[in-house]
């Protein structure tokens, strides 16, 4: 037996199939391809939308645990302070319609000029993705079903699959797409042993329930920035500490949206030599009066190839030593967000720390922490009323407690990527089993494929992967 399962998000405006009856292979027309998409965040919604546009002989079932289909965690926020970190002009769900989101924003985004260069609200983008799925329905008619629930098992049945849901229902599929999104962050061991609760940064109710006082955000990336802005709005007093090993906040996007120079940056195979040349290129760009952001942006289309030609050992070295530097420069803040963060720092409300927490002790409603500054043996003590885990998705899925992911590994359906990031897939996005063979009809996309593609967590890359998977599936129908 082989097993797989999923999680995701579902739209209140979409009809939700709540039936509990078993669907058998004989109930589908022989000429139609039954595709089940597990997960209804952006990745799953994009696959469904691209399948619909191809008008192939497909019946699509999209399974999602949450109420809405499309927003996922990243775009489900209701806080207007949370902005996208990519301009609207690069966020269309369809690569061949680059103005698709810009047009939607012009119709639904309210006041504002130059929507193409705007950093829109994350919640707005969630609504846009919902609309993309809604627009797919007329193309598919009754052949698009949204099922609310979680997948807990997926066993081989002939040349296809049978998925088991947590409500007791089973669904047959000719092909399955795993669009599982980001896994929850893992907590440092000593926080667990000290019985210190950690709040999920996307749990809006949990953040609201936190006691007044100083708080600690573990991580200094974009998630931490969003939470800091939310706390600044909700809490009039108290210090917001943000901690990471290097204490690097995301750098800032240029206010000017002019495209970078088209000249590519050629990097050698050696990781050390590549780093040297990239730094040299940034220095030369500065001498030409060109911003460093253009150097990073010129790399974007080639980073998957650069990543894939590194050995597994070199990839792991990059993740240990260089990833914080890369993430800070690659995943940048909108200028208006950076201005707000700078103001919080100047006011003393946000303090960014480099180093590590070496001990944590909970005493009633107060958590006592000892922090060791990076490069120093000196510790200093401070107290907070809560800790928010903003360290990012845990990409070692082999250690996941999620029953669906656990089952995938236990059954040998999937294996970890050699870098330790997510699962292994081939160049077409087909999942590779524990014995090294790619399944013909089991696909994955999004963050769980970062080990293979590296650039697989942002809309511009996910939409390309979704289109490629849709092409492969419609060719099979």
Q: Are residues 175 and 196 in the same domain?
A: no
At 54-77, the pLDDT tens digits run: 877 889 999 999 889 999 888 989
Separation of alpha carbons 22 and 171, rounded Å? 6
Least confident of 264-273, 300-309, 366-375: 264-273
pLDDT at 376 over 90: no
Structural domain count of the chain: 3
Q: Are residues 79 and 31 in the same domain?
A: yes
Closest CA to 182 of 430, 424, 421: 421
The residue among 345, 363, 389 that closes a domain is 389
What's residue 114's pLDDT? 75
200 within some domain: yes
The residue among 330, 350, 381 that closes a domain is 330
Separation of alpha carbons 477 and 474, rounded Å? 5
6 within some domain: no
Separation of alpha carbons 278 and 341, rounded Å? 28
- Geometric angle at alpha carbon 289, from 283 and 294, rounded to 5°: 70
- Element of type H or E holding 413: none
What's residue 379's pLDDT? 87
Mean pLDDT of the chain: 87
Q: Are residues 180 and 60 in the same domain?
A: yes
Read off the tokens for 460: 């511009």
Helix 42-54 × helix 459-476 angle, to 10°: 40
Q: Are residues 221 and 344 in the same domain?
A: yes
257 within some domain: no
Q: Are residues 45 and 141 in the same domain?
A: yes
What's residue 318's pLDDT? 93
Q: Are residues 48 and 90 in the same domain?
A: yes
* Contact (CB, 8 A) for 8 and 181: yes
% of residues, the chain, pLDDT over 90: 60
At 293-327, the pLDDT tens digits run: 988 988 888 889 899 999 999 999 999 999 999 99
What's residue 261's pLDDT? 65
Distance between the two ends of the chain, CA-based, in angstroms? 25
% of residues, the chain, pLDDT over 70: 90
Residue identified by tokens 């894939």 is 308
Which residues form the domain of 299?
271-330
Separation of alpha carbons 430 and 296, rounded Å? 29
Q: Are residues 56 and 118 in the same domain?
A: yes
Separation of alpha carbons 271 and 306, rounded Å? 9
Section 219-243 average pLDDT: 94
What's residue 210's pLDDT? 92
Q: Are residues 176 and 196 in the same domain?
A: no
CATH code at position 116:
3.50.50.60
For 283, residues 6+ apart whose C-beta sits below 8 A from its C-beta are none
pLDDT at 92 over 70: yes
User: Could you tell me the pLDDT band of residue 175, with boundaries at 50, 70 and 90?
Assistant: very high
379-384 and 160-165 strand pairing: unpaired
At 127-167, the pLDDT tens digits run: 999 999 998 877 776 688 999 999 998 888 999 999 999 99
What's residue 113's pLDDT? 60
């Amino acid at each position: 037996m082989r097993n797989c399962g999923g999680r995701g998000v579902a739209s209140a405006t979409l009809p939700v199939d709540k039936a509990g009856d078993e669907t058998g292979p004989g109930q589908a027309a022989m000429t139609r391809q039954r595709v089940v998409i597990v997960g209804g965040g952006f990745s799953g919604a994009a696959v469904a939308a691209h399948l619909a546009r191809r008008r192939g002989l497909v019946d699509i079932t999209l399974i999602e645990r949450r109420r809405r289909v499309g927003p996922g965690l990243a775009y489900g926020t209701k806080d207007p302070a949370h902005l996208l970190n990519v301009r609207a002009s690069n966020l269309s769900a369809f690569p061949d319609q680059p103005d698709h989101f810009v047009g939607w924003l012009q119709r639904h985004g309210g006041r504002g000029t130059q929507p193409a260069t705007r950093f829109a609200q994350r919640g707005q983008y969630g609504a846009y993705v919902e609309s993309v799925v809604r627009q797919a329905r007329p193309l598919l008619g009754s052949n698009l079903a949204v099922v609310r629930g979680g997948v807990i098992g997926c066993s081989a049945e002939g040349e296809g699959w049978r998925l088991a849901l947590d409500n007791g229902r089973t669904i047959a599929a000719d092909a399955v797409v795993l669009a599982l999104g980001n896994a929850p962050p893992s907590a440092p061991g000593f926080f667990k042993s000290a019985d210190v609760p950690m709040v999920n940064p996307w749990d809006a109710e949990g953040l609201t329930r936190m006691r007044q006082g100083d708080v600690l955000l573990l991580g200094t990336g974009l998630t931490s920035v969003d939470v800091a802005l939310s706390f600044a709005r909700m809490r009039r007093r108290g210090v917001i500490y943000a901690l990471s090993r290097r204490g690097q906040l995301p750098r800032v996007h240029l206010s000017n949206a002019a495209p970078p120079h088209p000249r590519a940056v050629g990097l050698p195979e050696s990781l050390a030599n590549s780093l040297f040349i990239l730094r040299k290129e940034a220095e030369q760009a500065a001498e030409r009066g060109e911003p460093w952001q253009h150097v990073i942006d010129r790399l974007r289309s080639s980073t998957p190839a650069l990543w894939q030609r590194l050995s597994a050992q070199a990839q792991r070295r990059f993740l240990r030593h260089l990833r914080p530097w890369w993430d800070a420069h690659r995943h940048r803040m909108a200028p208006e967000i950076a201005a707000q963060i700078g103001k919080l720092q100047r006011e003393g409300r946000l303090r960014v720390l480099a180093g590590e927490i070496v001990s944590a002790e909970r005493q009633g409603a107060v958590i006592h922490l000892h922090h060791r500054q990076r490069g120093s043996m000196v510790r200093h003590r401070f107290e907070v009323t809560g800790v928010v885990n903003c360290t990012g998705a845990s990409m070692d899925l082999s250690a996941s407690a999620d029953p669906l992911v656990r089952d995938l590994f236990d059954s040998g359906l999937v294996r970890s990527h050699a870098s330790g990031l997510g699962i292994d897939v081939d160049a077409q996005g087909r999942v590779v089993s524990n014995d090294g063979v790619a399944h013909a009809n089991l696909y994955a996309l999004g963050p769980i494929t970062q080990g293979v593609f590296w650039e697989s967590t942002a809309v511009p890359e996910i939409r390309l992967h979704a289109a490629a998977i849709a092409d492969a599936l419609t060719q099979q129908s």
